[in-house]
């Protein structure tokens, strides 16, 4: 992809964020909003805001980039004609959205699926008017300003001083996953549940009062695709639980504020693989 083509995609990503945000703001903190629990999923809910926000983005992509494919949370995927796919999660953190808490986000990723390269990722929080943009090989932006992570280059980080974060304990389904999560909870200084994508942008931006370790499982591609270039752009780490690059089939995600924490977390995870 040329620089000119990438610039066009970045403009489209911002348009998608604006279009979905306009829908979401219309429904945020509205009483008696109908919700549904997704079949076969323990704690995943969907609202009319999810569906309409996704439809707004899909319509825009079909209009402005008709050859691009779409991997989406709520509707049917659309095949690509050129190898590029938009990966969309209209409201990551619907449980926070329905409680009126502005710690959710719209996730917009663009990938070369054949080469497993996430070219750009956008996280938009329309209520707080915060928008993160990550571009592969570049420092990420928050509301148009480059930001850095104060923890990413620390070479003496110890996992016992870190905060372990997961969206919910219900996401650890198998005995192995539960044992690994419990062991990391014992080792880390703090454990916090909740947050969805906001955990990852907090890690990337360095907002936390201590370095972070994010451990999650039972995820889908749209849950993390857009986060990859944002986290990697500040020198933080995001992989699967084996330390391998994430791909469209990954379900277990480990993100850490720096490589030292990542190495220590992988050792603990490896000890639990025989459970």
Bind-site residues for Mg(2+): 73, 89, 91-92, 223
184-211 burial, b at 16+ Cβ within 10 Å, e below that, comes to beebbeebeeebbbbbbbbbbbbebeeb
Q: What angle, 0 to 180 degrees and rounded to 10, lies between the N-to-C axes of helices 48-64 and 3-27?
A: 150
List of residues 6+ apart from 111 with CB closer than 8 A: 84, 85, 87, 117, 118, 119, 225, 248
Q: H/E/C letters for each residue in 81-103?
A: CCCEEEEEEEEECHHHHHCCCCC
- Quickly count: other Cβ atoms within 10 Å of residue 240's Cβ: 18
Q: Is the dihedral of CA 230, 213, 258, 130 positive or negative?
A: positive
Please say whether the beta carbons of 255 and 238 come within 8 A: yes
Annotated binding site: 73, 89, 91-92, 223
């Amino acid at each position: 992809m040329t620089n000119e083509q990438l610039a066009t995609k970045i403009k489209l990503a911002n348009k998608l964020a604006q279009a979905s945000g306009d829908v979401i703001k219309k429904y945020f903190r509205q009483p008696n909003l109908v919700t549904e629990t997704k079949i076969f999923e323990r704690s995943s809910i969907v609202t009319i805001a999810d569906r309409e926000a996704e439809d707004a983005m899909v319509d825009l992509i079909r209009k402005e980039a008709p050859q691009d494919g779409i991997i989406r949370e709520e509707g049917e995927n659309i095949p690509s004609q050129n190898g590029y796919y938009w990966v969309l999660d209209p409201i990551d953190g619907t449980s926070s959205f329905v409680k009126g808490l502005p710690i959710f986000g719209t996730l917009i990723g663009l990938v070369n699926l054949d080469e497993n390269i996430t070219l750009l990722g956008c996280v938009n929080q329309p209520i707080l008017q915060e928008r993160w943009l990550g571009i592969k090989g570049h420092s990420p932006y928050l509301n148009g300003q480059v930001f850095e992570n104060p923890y990413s280059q620390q070479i003496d980080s110890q996992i016992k001083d870190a905060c372990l974060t997961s969206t919910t304990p219900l996401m650890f389904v198998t005995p192995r996953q539960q044992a690994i999560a419990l062991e990391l909870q014992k080792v880390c200084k703090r454990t916090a549940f909740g947050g969805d994508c906001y955990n990852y942008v907090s890690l990337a931006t360095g907002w936390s009062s201590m370095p972070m370790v994010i451990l999650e499982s039972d995820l889908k591609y749209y849950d993390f695709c857009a986060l990859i270039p944002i986290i990697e752009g500040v020198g933080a780490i995001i992989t699967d639980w084996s330390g391998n690059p994430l791909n469209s089939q990954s379900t277990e995600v480990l993100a850490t504020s720096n490589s030292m924490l990542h190495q220590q977390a992988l050792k603990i995870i490896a000890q639990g693989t025989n459970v």
